[in-house]
């Protein structure tokens, strides 16, 4: 069972490809070529974006994964917790967080605070999508792919109940109420 996908594509495969290349170029311009950038991919939604982004980058890099989850009961914002930690220390290393989407900002804020406390040399964030109208806490994002309105989006790694991550484009789910998690 799944909810009907909107017939209108929000971002096509070509549009995403072009924007990811631009983000890679911007990130390359800000980072040294003689020091590996440590890329921290926020699971699960960011894995498709990260796979394309790192292959478009020229900066030498190392990679790790982290998983942050929130348990929402529908009435409160939900408690954010660390589900899978990094495999290695980031102390003294230049770090780039790769996120799929910033909605209220709570998840990214938690992640940035967590990593900043570990004393990286630098900490920057790239987000494929952001919903500025939904922001509840302030977060700094150095590189933003696309701004979206107050829609629930899927595809290109983003899911709804673990479905639709494999779509090459990004689309919205057709329904009147936005699902919360
Ligand atoms: P936050 O509200 O903390 O910024 O976002 C929390 C998480 O909600 C995101 O990491 C993502 O997993 C999920 N989320 C928020 N908006 C959307 C959306 O439009 N589509 C999908 N697939 N997930 C979303
Ligand atoms: Mg996420």
Here the tokens at position 144 are 């933003």
Q: Which domains does the chain have, with CATH numbers?
A: 3-70+78-176 (3.40.50.2020)
Which of the four pLDDT bands, split at 50, 70 and 90, describes residue 70?
A: confident
Which ligand is in closest contact with the Cα of 130?
1
Whole-number pLDDT of residue 180: 58
pLDDT > 70? residue 181? no
* Matching residue, tokens 């020091």: 35
Is 103 annotated as catalytic?
A: yes
pLDDT > 70? residue 61? yes
Nearest CA to ligand 1 atom 15: 103
pLDDT > 70? residue 175? no
**Mutation probe of ligand 1 site: the residue of 78, 101, 127 with most atoms within 8 A of C-beta:** 101
- Digit-coded pLDDT (tens) for 133-143: 999 999 999 99
Cβ contact 30:143 at 8 Å: no
- Digit-coded pLDDT (tens) for 82-127: 999 999 999 999 999 999 999 999 999 999 999 999 999 999 999 9
pTM exceeding 0.75 = yes
- Digit-coded pLDDT (tens) for 21-53: 999 999 999 998 899 999 999 999 999 999 999
Which residues 6+ apart lie within 8 Å of 80 measured at CB? Answer: 68, 69, 70, 106, 107, 110
Which residues 6+ apart lie within 8 Å of 128 measured at CB? Answer: 20, 46, 49, 99, 100, 101, 145, 146, 156, 157
Which ligand is in closest contact with the Cα of 106?
1
Q: How far is the CA of 67 from the centre of ligand 2 (A)?
A: 8
Q: Of 155 and 78, which is predicted with more confidence?
A: 155
Lining residues, ligand 1, CB within 6 Å: 45, 70, 101-108, 152-154, 158-160, 181
Q: How far is the CA of 127 from the centre of ligand 2 (A)?
A: 10
- Digit-coded pLDDT (tens) for 158-171: 999 999 999 999 99
Q: Of 174 and 19, which is predicted with more confidence?
A: 19
Q: How far is the CA of 34 from the centre of ligand 2 (A)?
A: 30
Q: How far is the CA of 63 from the centre of ligand 1 (A)?
A: 23
Whole-number pLDDT of residue 77: 63
Atom of ligand 1 nearest to the CA of 160: 22
């Amino acid at each position: 069972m799944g909810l009907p996908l909107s017939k209108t594509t929000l971002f096509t495969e070509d549009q995403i490809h072009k924007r990811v290349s631009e983000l890679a170029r911007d990130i390359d311009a800000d980072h040294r070529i003689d020091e590996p950038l440590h890329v921290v991919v926020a699971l699960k939604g960011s894995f498709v974006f990260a796979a394309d982004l790192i292959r478009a980058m020229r900066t030498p890099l190392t990679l790790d994964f982290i998983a942050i989850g929130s348990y929402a009961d529908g009435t409160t914002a939900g408690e954010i917790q660390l589900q899978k930690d990094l495999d290695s220390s980031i102390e003294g290393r230049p770090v780039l967080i790769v996120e799929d989407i910033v909605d209220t900002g709570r998840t990214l804020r938690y992640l940035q605070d967590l990593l900043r406390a570990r004393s990286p040399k630098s900490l920057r964030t790239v987000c494929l999508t952001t919903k500025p109208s939904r922001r509840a806490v302030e977060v700094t994002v150095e590189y933003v792919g696309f701004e979206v309105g107050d829609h629930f989006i899927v595809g290109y790694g983003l899911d709804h109940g673990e479905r639709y991550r494999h779509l090459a484009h990004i689309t919205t789910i057709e329904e009147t109420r936005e699902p919360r998690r």
